A = this chain, B = another copy of it.
Amino acid sequence: MREFNSIGDSQKGNGLEYIQSFSPLLNTHLEGNFKVATLEEIEDAISKATQAFLVFRETSLHERAAFLREIARGLLAKGDALLHRAHQESALSLSRLEAERGRTIHQLHLFADWIEEGSYLQATIEHAQDERIPKRKPDLRKMLKPLGPVVVFTASNFPFAYSTAGGDTASALAAGNPVIVKAHESHLGTNEMVSDIIIQAARKTRMPDGIFSNLVGKGNELGRILAKHPGVKAIGFTGSRAGGKAIFEYGMQRDAPIPVFAEMGSINPVLLFPNALQSRREEIIRDYVASITLDMGQFCTNPGLLIGLRGSSLQEFITGLAQQIEKTQQANMLSSSIWERYVETRQNALKQKGVELVVQSNSGEKYKAIPTLALASGEAFLENPNLHEEVFGPFSMIIACENAVEFDEVVQKLQGQLTLTLIGDNQDFESYPGVMQRIDQIAGRIIFNGVPTGVEVCKGMHHGGPFPATTDVRFTAVGEDSIYRWLKPVAYQDCPDELLPDALKEGNPLNIMRRVNGRLILRSPLE
A residues neighboring B (CB under 8 Å): 54, 99, 119, 124-126, 134-135, 137-138, 140-142, 145, 147-148, 248-249, 252, 256-259, 416, 426, 429, 436-438, 440-441, 443-450, 454, 456, 458-462, 464, 466-468, 471-474, 476, 481, 484, 487-496, 498-499, 513, 515, 518-522, 526-527
- Bound-state CA distance A518–B525 (Å) is 11
Decide if A527 touches B519 in the complex (CB within 8 Å).
yes
- Bound-state CA distance A471–B256 (Å) is 8
Known A-B contacts A446-B490, A446-B493, A491-B446; the reply to A461 vs B522 at CB < 8 A is no
Other A-B contacts than A249-B252, A257-B467, A448-B492, 11 sampled, CB-CB below 8 A, are A119-B520, A126-B459, A126-B460, A138-B447, A138-B450, A140-B458, A257-B471, A259-B472, A474-B489, A520-B527, A521-B527
Decide if B519 touches A460 in the complex (CB within 8 Å).
no
> Of the candidates B138, B256, B456, which one forms a contact with A456 in the assembled complex, judged by CB atoms under 8 Å apart?
B138
Decide if A491 touches B474 in the complex (CB within 8 Å).
no
Decide if B515 touches A520 in the complex (CB within 8 Å).
no
Decide if B445 touches A491 in the complex (CB within 8 Å).
yes
Residues of B within 8 A of A125 (CB): 460
Top 7 closest pairs, chain A to chain B, by CB: A140-B460, A126-B460, A462-B491, A256-B467, A445-B491, A447-B493, A252-B252
Decide if A426 touches B496 in the complex (CB within 8 Å).
yes
Decide if A520 touches B522 in the complex (CB within 8 Å).
yes
Decide if B257 touches A462 in the complex (CB within 8 Å).
no
Known A-B contacts A461-B140, A520-B527; the reply to A448 vs B495 at CB < 8 A is yes
Can you offer 26 A-B residue contacts whose CB atoms are under 8 A? A125-B460, A126-B456, A126-B461, A135-B454, A138-B447, A148-B441, A249-B252, A256-B416, A257-B471, A426-B496, A426-B499, A429-B499, A436-B499, A443-B490, A445-B492, A446-B493, A447-B493, A448-B492, A448-B494, A459-B515, A462-B491, A466-B488, A474-B489, A520-B520, A520-B522, A522-B527
> Of the candidates B459, B472, B489, which one forms a contact with A124 in the assembled complex, judged by CB atoms under 8 Å apart?
B459
Residues of B within 8 A of A137 (CB): 456, 458
Decide if B140 touches A473 in the complex (CB within 8 Å).
no
Closest to A522 in B: B520
Closest to A248 in B: B257
Residues of B within 8 A of A147 (CB): 473-474
- Bound-state CA distance A246–B494 (Å) is 36
Decide if B513 touches A489 in the complex (CB within 8 Å).
no
Decide if B494 touches A484 in the complex (CB within 8 Å).
no
Decide if B141 touches A460 in the complex (CB within 8 Å).
yes
> Of the candidates B464, B484, B490, B513, which one forms a contact with A462 in the assembled complex, judged by CB atoms under 8 Å apart?
B490
- Bound-state CA distance A461–B126 (Å) is 9
- Bound-state CA distance A124–B458 (Å) is 10
Instruction: For residue A504, give the distance in angstroms from its CB to the closest CB of chain B.
Output: 10
Residues of B within 8 A of A416 (CB): 256
Known A-B contacts A142-B462, A481-B489; the reply to A495 vs B446 at CB < 8 A is yes
Instruction: For residue A113, give the distance in angstroms from its CB to the closest CB of chain B.
Output: 9
Closest to A458 in B: B126
Q: Considering residues A443, A458, A498, which has the most beta carbons from chain B within 10 angstroms of its beta carbon?
A: A458
Residues of B within 8 A of A496 (CB): 426, 448
Decide if B490 touches A440 in the complex (CB within 8 Å).
yes
Decide if B527 touches A450 in the complex (CB within 8 Å).
no
Residues of B within 8 A of A54 (CB): 437-438
Decide if B518 touches A459 in the complex (CB within 8 Å).
yes
Residues of B within 8 A of A443 (CB): 490
Decide if B259 touches A473 in the complex (CB within 8 Å).
yes
- Bound-state CA distance A21–B502 (Å) is 51
Residues of B within 8 A of A99 (CB): 134
> Of the candidates B461, B467, B487, B518, which one forms a contact with A474 in the assembled complex, judged by CB atoms under 8 Å apart?
B487
- Bound-state CA distance A448–B440 (Å) is 44
Decide if A513 touches B520 in the complex (CB within 8 Å).
yes
Instruction: For residue A299, give the distance in angstroms from its CB to the closest CB of chain B.
Output: 15
